[in-house]
Structure 1
Amino acid sequence: MSSSDLSPQELAQACADSMYKVDSASQALGMKIVSVGPGRAELTMKIRDDMLNGHGSCHGGFIFALADSTFAFACNSRNVSTVAQGVSIEYVRPGVAGQLLTAVAEEKNLAGRTGLYDVTVSNEQGEHIAYFRGKSYRIRGTVLPELDQ
């Protein structure tokens, strides 16, 4: 079987399933994949008490981790190994304990070896918590080497 035997949606889902199985960090933080597609991903993460900072709100590093993982699933959705080349994040509202955060990554541009992705992190009320922009870089290899046959 090869990548061309799968629809783009099936390939994106297979890549996400394969990556998530070995993604100890995302699993340990309680992240769940809601949906994936070519150049797109949506993940959730519940803010736990052990994720709070000295101000009683969610530590920015955990919000960043959610956005970064969502970015990773989006940019690896075409079975080409891809890593972050550079990212930035803007926090616009605090996350609080017990909230379920949702991050949605959308591909904005893909040209040559680089891609540009925007990730929006929101709370259950639909209020935006953070905006993340990531630039990806395609490296050698595939997410699903068994499909390279």
Structure 2
Amino acid sequence: MHDAGIPVTAQALAEAAGAAMFARDTASKGLGMELVEIRPGYARMTMQVRADMLNGHLSCHGGFIFALADSAFAFACNSHNVVTVGAGCTIDYLAPGRQDDMLTAEAVERALAGKTGIYDVNVTNQEGRLIATFRGKSHRIGGEVAPLQS
């Protein structure tokens, strides 16, 4: 609830949490990531592969692909406005990212019970080619991501 006892929708909570987190997220912003969409249990982020992100094979370094997937995971699992951290994850690289590719990470909540959640993230390029798959396990530590007025 907030102002005048009007209930806050799950979508409004997701948007408030996303905006608050992104405002503080210098790491994601520094890599050029953008939060394109957020809903309860869902986030979509993009990042363009820059020349300084290339490895010795002239493909996107896996650490940058991981960072994009991990950021989308973080926004999805915090979209319920409960402070949530990563407890573990795995990633599988399926195809290379190339310079100037626009990568998109789409994180989807698969399960949420008590303090634990499971999220799947697919990273694709601008042609829809699957670049990587990531699975993250979250742990709720409590508190609000975006404090709401009461």
TM-score using structure 1 length? 0.96
SS in 2 for 1:5: coil
- Aligned with residue 42 of structure 2, among 18, 30, 40: 40
Aligned pair count reads: 148
SS in 2 for 1:125: coil
Identity %: 56
TM-score using structure 2 length? 0.95
d(CA) in 1 for partners of 2:128, 2:51: 21
Residue aligning to 2:9: 7
Unaligned runs of 5+ in 2: none
d(CA) in 1 for partners of 2:16, 2:114: 23
SS in 2 for 1:94: coil
d(CA) in 2 for partners of 1:110, 1:54: 39
- Aligned with residue 110 of structure 1, among 104, 112, 133: 112
Residue 144 of structure 1, CA deviation: 1.5
Residue 141 of structure 1, CA deviation: 1.4
Residue aligning to 2:77: 75
Residue aligning to 2:129: 127
Residue 119 of structure 1, CA deviation: 0.1
SS in 2 for 1:120: strand
Q: Within 5 A, what are the aligned runs for 1:13-32? A: 13-32=15-34
SS in 2 for 1:58: coil
Q: In the alignment, does 2:91 pair up with 1:62?
A: no
Q: In the alignment, does 2:146 pair up with 1:144?
A: yes
Unaligned runs of 5+ in 1: none
- Aligned with residue 89 of structure 2, among 62, 87, 90: 87
Residue 14 of structure 1, CA deviation: 0.7
Residue 148 of structure 1, CA deviation: 6.5
